[in-house]
Amino acid sequence: MAPQINPSILSADFARLADEARAVEGADWLHVDVMDNHFVPNLTLGVPVVESLARATRTPLDCHLMIEAPDRWAPQYVEAGAGSVTFHAEAAAAPVRLAREIRAKGARASMALKPATPIEPYEDLLPELDMLLIMTVEPGFGGQAFLDIMLPKIRRTRELIKKHGLELWLQVDGGVSATTIERCAEAGADVFVAGSAVYGASDPAEAVRALRTQADAATARASWSCDH
């Protein structure tokens, strides 16, 4: 799979969300951060805004739920128009059941891990998922610095994906920019969430294209990609 770039609207102008979504329609997905001020110390947006965004853009929505009780709420985001829904392993009561419900409703099912959460206990769950998200910052706020200590975790996750022969996307979120995206790609990531690096640029669409070029080049020379 070619690398994918997912701009995060957490870094966009919330007063102009429809325009900001259309400004990056060359992206693969539009990443929508949902925060409840309980699981993380921030409050963003919910189902009604996702419904509006789904009508406003042709780019599919990748909803990242940083919320408590995702087992209850995640299916509503599929119904609101999300094409991919990510729940946190630390918050889900029954992750396998939830992943199957998301898939049954017609969306891609994804699970996220906070920086301190290891991948190894979830190895057996990977076949139930379409994507795994490795957080490369502590979830809750945009604009944080990339945590280099997450690179070995990305590599271990890629090794597990290869071990089981899975067509599982590996997403990274947090501090992804022109200075970090190549390291992430070389470690094994193939889906990149970029907030400030896209919406902080004078031309967000060009920023998406530039990040894609970097990711493509880094993936082409990565050992995991050459062995795939």
Active site residues per annotation: 33, 173
8 is in an annotated binding site: yes
140 is in an annotated binding site: yes
175 is in an annotated binding site: yes
196 is in an annotated binding site: yes
Chain centroid to Cα 116, Å, comes to 17
64 is in an annotated binding site: yes
33 is in an annotated binding site: yes
141 is in an annotated binding site: yes
Cα three-residue angle 114-21-79, rounded to 5 degrees: 65
Give the number of other Cβ atoms within 10 Å of residue 149's Cβ. 9
26 is in an annotated binding site: no
13 is in an annotated binding site: no
Distances (CA, A) of 188 to 16, 30, 38, 171, 228: 34, 21, 31, 9, 11
Tell the residue number behind the tokens 């031309």, with chain if given.
Answer: 203
Per the annotation, binding residues for substrate are 8, 64, 140-143, 173-175, 195-196
- Annotated binding-site ranges: 8, 31, 33, 64, 140-143, 173-175, 195-196
Question: Residue positions in the annotated binding site for a divalent metal cation?
Answer: 31, 33, 64, 173
